[in-house]
Structure 1
Amino acid sequence: MKRMMIVMLLGVFMVLSACSKETNAPAANAGGEAPADNGTAAESAAAAGGEAKKPRVAFVYLGVPGDGGWTYEHDQGRLMMEKELGITATTVENVPEGADAERIFEELSQDHDVVFGTSFGYMDAMVNVAQKHPDVKFMHASGYKTLDNLGTYLGKEYQSAYLVGMAAGKMTENNHLGYVGAFPIPEVIYTINAFALGAQSVNPDAHVSVVWSNTWFDPTTERQAATSLLDKGVDVLAAYQDSPASIQAAAERGVWGIGNDSDMSKYAPDTYITNPVWKWGPYYIEAVQSVIDGTWKPESYFGSMKDGITDIAPFGKNVPQDVQDLVEAKKQEILNDAFDVFAGPIKDQTGAEKVAAGSAMTVDEILNMTWFVQGIDGTIPQ
């Protein structure tokens, strides 16, 4: 993900006209209401021969699939689910986190059985609407609030971030890495920490400078933040946003770049290393199938790399083979449950021990992380 966040506010008419053309779902009408029929009426009826009823499914996106990152991967997962289960879902794009979001969820709940919200900032809106519609199943990406009809889902992207950090630690020549953080929330903080720990595991002298863009998708602002780090002399630059602006800025300086969410190699082919990627399709298939089977429960799903929900993108064409082999060996350890990213000893920026040797952070501790590990230069705004 992905998100307690701020998005460019769009006019109501833009939000409501954003139903994805890829799904062949009808656009919202001029009155601003979600479509009353998403083209699945026949699918929703019980099929001949007693087959299970197929639910009417909707996805609410913070951005557009064309972002090449977070929303793109959610949409790829939606497409996989549609193909596997024979369901055509409704999508609503460019939905800001706020009053508009709650209205969209309310309208979708009128004629859908399952609604996915793909941004952290939708959490309270989804809770409010779910309480009013107990017969609708809601699933919220990266949130932490659940109800009898509201579950959450996310993955251990920090496992991917550690591997990417290893590659960065091997590729740097001056030991100065940069990271453009999105928002100072635990999801981003623990990912940056994992990146730093990965880099330090192969290069103890590596340190990471962090700046915040306070955006998820704002190429102009993200490029400015990236430039501020490039001006400080970082020779590997990573970012936690949905746009490729940071790695494009790095490429212009001949600096190695690391993207986020989806394979971003095409944006900086000569200087690209790799980046964490999401694979939502298997989860969406399983979740919707459980609704069809009548086995759905409001779980707090936190999948791992072993589950296939997160991975790393293919390495860039100029990444040495020995670096690739090193990272691949550690990946196999993670897949075999032989390595824990947040196993001690781990110290924070001040040198205070946070995780003792022989112990490891719990999932709850990871999901509530509000501190940086030793070797990171930067502050976490309160």
Structure 2
Amino acid sequence: MKLRHLLATAALAGLAGGAFAQDDPTTVGFVYVGPIGDGGWTYEHEQGRLAVEEHFGDQVETVYVESVPEGPDAVRVMQQMALNGADLIFTTSFGYMDQTIEVAEQFPDVMFEHATGYKRADNVSTYSARFYEGRAVQGHIAGNLTESNVIGYIGSFPIPEVIRGINSAYIHAKKVNPDVEFKIVWVYTWFDPAKEAEAARTLIDQGADVILQHTDSTAPQAAAAEAGDVYTFGQASDMAEFGPMPRVSSIIDNWAPYYIDRTQAVIDGTWESTDTWDGIGPGMVGIGEISDAVPAEVKAEAEALAESIAAGEYHPFTGPLNKQDGSVWLEEGETADDGTLLGMNFYVEGIEGDIPQ
């Protein structure tokens, strides 16, 4: 009788636990490649997490781990989040792609969202922003501002996302300044202030008076401020503390609406594996305020360019455009298809140097 009583009690406890579980908050995890105070990429993902907390209140509990290297450490962090009861996990760097798929296979009841990747599964969605749209606006401004005709670009890793940005910025700088030249330094990191600052100084020593970056810290802004008379652009976040000079505008990643929407889908039980790639129009890519260091006419042109992209009236990759080797890529009026952009592994005509392998 005692054994039967214990089994019955355990069963009742299990039922009670199930009943209470319905009222338990949905747990949403975030895996960050950099520190939340980086002032750029991870900072904006963190703003998205905070927006989820504010929007849902007690309905949702969020957890995060920052500065997680891309590799085995990421697997352990994701596994621990899943084991601790996460219902939804956002993995916020390209280099987490294979690790996300690996852990998702181990936890089929947990939903995963991977930023900027291309591998999906029944419980893995992918999402990214059309950063190249913002790069077009930056290129327009940069081509107008440079006096040396040398624009420097700090590249993180030679992946399509970064190559798209370089090409887009170059195309639009070249349109307004046929004499413009791009110099590119690859740092092979998303976030390393020392390397980023050194790259900026190297580019400045090579004659660049405008610096663009696809890295996450504000170190290039600080290096440009020290040099003087060098323009920069905020990356991922506004970096407005360096305005009006050297930071004259920025690309702002706005993840909050997406994070709220996908969390709601998990709560509602309607979550499905999807691929999202949004830009200026839907608001996932924002253009930071263009400072008074930019001439009013150039500012007006840049704002008009952003508006035309947002409205779908203009595509940043519109022909005629050739590849670096001179072969035709896009004919007059032809626009690039998403497949080519997603796998972009070439420079456009006019950019010098090879893409590292």
TM-score, with structure 2 as normaliser: 0.90
- Corresponding residue SS for 1:208: strand
CA shift, 1:120, in A, is 1.0
The structure with the greater share of residues assigned to helix is 2
Q: Which residue of 2 aligns with 1:376?
A: 351
Call closer, same or farther: CA 1:249–1:268 in 2, change over 3 Å.
farther
The answer as to whether partners of 2:164 and 2:344 remain within 8 angstroms in 1 is: yes
Q: Which residue of 2 aligns with 1:214?
A: 188
The answer as to whether partners of 1:169 and 1:202 remain within 8 angstroms in 2 is: yes
The answer as to whether partners of 2:27 and 2:88 remain within 8 angstroms in 1 is: yes
The answer as to whether partners of 2:212 and 2:232 remain within 8 angstroms in 1 is: yes
Q: Which residue of 2 aligns with 1:65?
A: 36
- Out of 13, 36, 46, the position equivalent to 2:22 is 46
Residue-pair matches, total? 336
* 1:337 has 2:308 as partner: no
User: Root-mean-square deviation (CA), in Å?
Assistant: 1.7
* 1:131 has 2:105 as partner: yes
1:147 maps to a residue whose letter is: A
- Corresponding residue SS for 2:202: helix
Q: Deviations over 1:136-156 (max 9, x none)?
A: 000000111100000111010
The answer as to whether partners of 2:197 and 2:223 remain within 8 angstroms in 1 is: yes
Structure with greater Cα Rg: 2
- Out of 235, 241, 261, the position equivalent to 1:266 is 241
The 2-side partners of 1:59 and 1:166 are apart by 35
Identity of aligned residues (%): 42
- Out of 95, 110, 121, the position equivalent to 2:68 is 95
Q: Which residue of 2 aligns with 1:175?
A: 149
Structure 1 residue runs of 5 or longer lacking an equivalent are 1-40, 48-52
The answer as to whether partners of 2:25 and 2:61 remain within 8 angstroms in 1 is: no
CA shift, 1:83, in A, is 0.9
- Corresponding residue SS for 1:287: helix
- Out of 199, 207, 228, the position equivalent to 1:225 is 199
The 1-side partners of 2:322 and 2:202 are apart by 27
* 1:288 has 2:274 as partner: no
CA shift, 1:165, in A, is 0.8
1:250 maps to a residue whose letter is: A
TM-score, with structure 1 as normaliser: 0.84
The 1-side partners of 2:116 and 2:162 are apart by 11
Between stretches 66-75 and 247-256, larger displacement belongs to 247-256
Between stretches 340-349 and 362-371, larger displacement belongs to 340-349
Q: Which residue of 2 aligns with 1:319?
A: 294
The 1-side partners of 2:295 and 2:61 are apart by 43
Q: Which residue of 2 aligns with 1:104?
A: 77
- Corresponding residue SS for 1:275: strand
Q: Which residue of 1 aligns with 2:9?
A: none
The answer as to whether partners of 2:26 and 2:61 remain within 8 angstroms in 1 is: no
Structure 2 residue runs of 5 or longer lacking an equivalent are 1-16
The 1-side partners of 2:240 and 2:351 are apart by 26
CA shift, 1:85, in A, is 1.7
2:38 maps to a residue whose letter is: D
